[in-house]
Structure 1
Amino acid sequence: MDLSRPRCRLWRELVLVASLLACGIRQASSQIYITPDSLIGVERYSSSLAIENAPEDVQEYSWHRGANDTEENLIISYNATSHSRRDGPMYSGRESVSIRGTLRIWRSQLNDTGNYTVRVDTINDTQRATGWLEILELEIPQISVNTTSVVDGEDAVAATCYTNDSHVQWYVNHAPVSSNYRMTISPDNKTLIIRMFSRFDSPLQCGIEILPELIQKSDLVYVTVAYGPYSLQLRSSPTDFSGILSAEIGSQVEMECISYSRPESKYRWIHNGSLLSFSEKNITLPSLTWDQMGRYRCIAENSATQLTLYDEVHIQALWRRPVVSRSFTISGSLLVFLIIFTVLGFTHFLMVLIRALFRHYSTRANWSI
């Protein structure tokens, strides 16, 4: 879109206070005029025609299509005394008048292009002014990409913006970008190449400056990015410590393999070197047996990225200290034997003691003779 026309000033109003072009020789200071007398607007945006040099005692503002103020051409009028408005034959439902007499056309259309005449009625006078409004067709840029499916950090994506405008702005993941170590924008700004496209680069979008500070953007283009698996973890219940899971025979053991991947990872389980039939991320052993002891390995695979990760846990029997009983029982016959043995032993001890005493005193008597 080429908007390189002579302009004296531009400003926006609401979604757009179109492009305002104030040119030409103004009328005498006592005469009203439309500012600007030549207005450039854009389709689908709002446009405003303001009145300058209006007297203080205005009774009514009336806007008309064309170069005259006939009743057949009336769009809308505003009575400043009663604060009421009146719609005319040319009213489309998109026009309004402010208390200052400004005509605002909402959601401008191409057929809004043409002359607009305002009549200002005062107590003692009536003044008229005519201005030109041109509504330009809104150009919406189109965007395409060479592929919509890539592998994270490996593939490149080339995006093209289709527009007649040379002022193209590129947006990656909704943020404006420029050429850098990973992205290259062509000299005409219409092609963006992203090397090593990542999952954080989607979506893509381009935009053009249809008027100063007004950017019209294309549709969003999403690129499917395959990635992972990343951050593989094998969680278990009971909880394992440093890859060792201790559990009692007959207890329930649960294991879950978690990874981050797109598309979703495929899972395989290996027990003591043998491939299991489980293909889910979860394994439940409802009643642990000795045969189920050993090392379990979970393998996560992504067919799109050709990446594989694994983690493993070793299940072993729960170790308990043996319990030693300190109590004992003695049968009746053994008790009798112990009693007799004790009595005989005590009797023998007394006999030995008496004999020793007898010898002692006999020897002592002989020494005294």
Structure 2
Amino acid sequence: MALAGCSWLLLSAAFLSTGAEISITPEPDQPAEGDNVTLAVRGLSGELLAYSWYAGPTLSLAYLVSSYIVSTGDETPGPAHTGREAVRPDGSLDIQGALPGHSGTYILQTLNRQLQTEVGYGHLRVYEILAQPEVIANSTELVERRDTLRLLCSSPSPAEVRWFFNGEALPIALRLGLSPDGRVLTRHGIRREEAGAYQCEVSNPVSVSRSEPINLNVYFGPERVAILQDSTTLTGCTIKVDFNASLTLWCVSRSCPEPEYVWAFNGRALKNGQDHLNISSMTAAQEGTYTCIAKNPKTLLSGSASVVVKLTAAVVAMSIVPVPTKPTEGQDVTLTVQGYPKDLLVYAWYRGPASEPNRLLSQLPSGNWIAGPAHTGREVGFANCSLLVQKVNLTDAGRYTLKTVTLQGKTETLELELQVAPLE
């Protein structure tokens, strides 16, 4: 029986039956674009005359890819033929260099010698080699807690989407929102810790592609504005400076970007736009209130801190005077200290050089004194740093050393040679 062209298709409608035995399987099962694909057919039965392949949901002439006559091997392309398809003698369909457009439902219709037809259904998905996606941001410069971040992973192809932050997989916490398709990332009230590099990655079974990073800046502050002395020492409300001494005040804050600085002295702006202010030679004219104002040009917020700078009071040179000047054996002698520092923290007396084995006694900040290794039981300390030595003897003569430490950490050391007269 000879079949010409597609005339047998017109007869098939009267004898159409659904053959559940026919199976169509793509090989490979997850082809990438450009792969050669075979829609392998299994379960054919009987002596067949012809095959017809359709690329579409129905047996419509518009979807006809190709018809094949088994006895002659003649193949006739249909309207849906792309130039890449070829029917095998076993009924399978080869697609050379398959494209994503070849994806969809395929139907094989067979015709046997009794002019009966059977059909089998299969599905082909050809995956694209994904192009590099691009992250598009509503803005890369945002203000903390004020602005909303929206990032779009732009890719022309359907794919799974993953997000990365500073090279690591992005944790999906409650404060980060993803759209149902994963392509839009939203953060309301952005925070500083979310500044950094964002990337998105698209993937399908045959391809993975990650975007270039997009860097996000989150501006905040200024916060915790403070004035430091000499860049490291925290100041209190008042700084005392010696006459003619130098002083550097530093303005620090937590801010992004670095703020702009304005200094004021007693409410009057100074011509200084730096983060520090130098006072080269302290005089009474420099006494007053110094204020630093930090302004963030991005957040439009500002903060300030102030400190009072004063001259230290005139200090009388410290000295030690023994009373009596030259005691006699058996007498008490007081080593009287004149001009001791008013901001005294601690002091210590030594019998000889200022070393621990020679320490007679020390006074604590509480005002109490404690005995040292060289204490003989006859020495008593006073709040004004003076030392009483009771019932001196000739061995008490010699060097005595006083060491003082002020609240500002200033240390001063004085020495005295005590003379003791023998009994006649």
TM-score, normalised via structure 1 length: 0.49
Higher strand share: 2
Higher helix share: 1
Which one has more relative contact order, counting CA pairs under 8 Å at least 6 apart? 1
TM-score, normalised via structure 2 length: 0.43
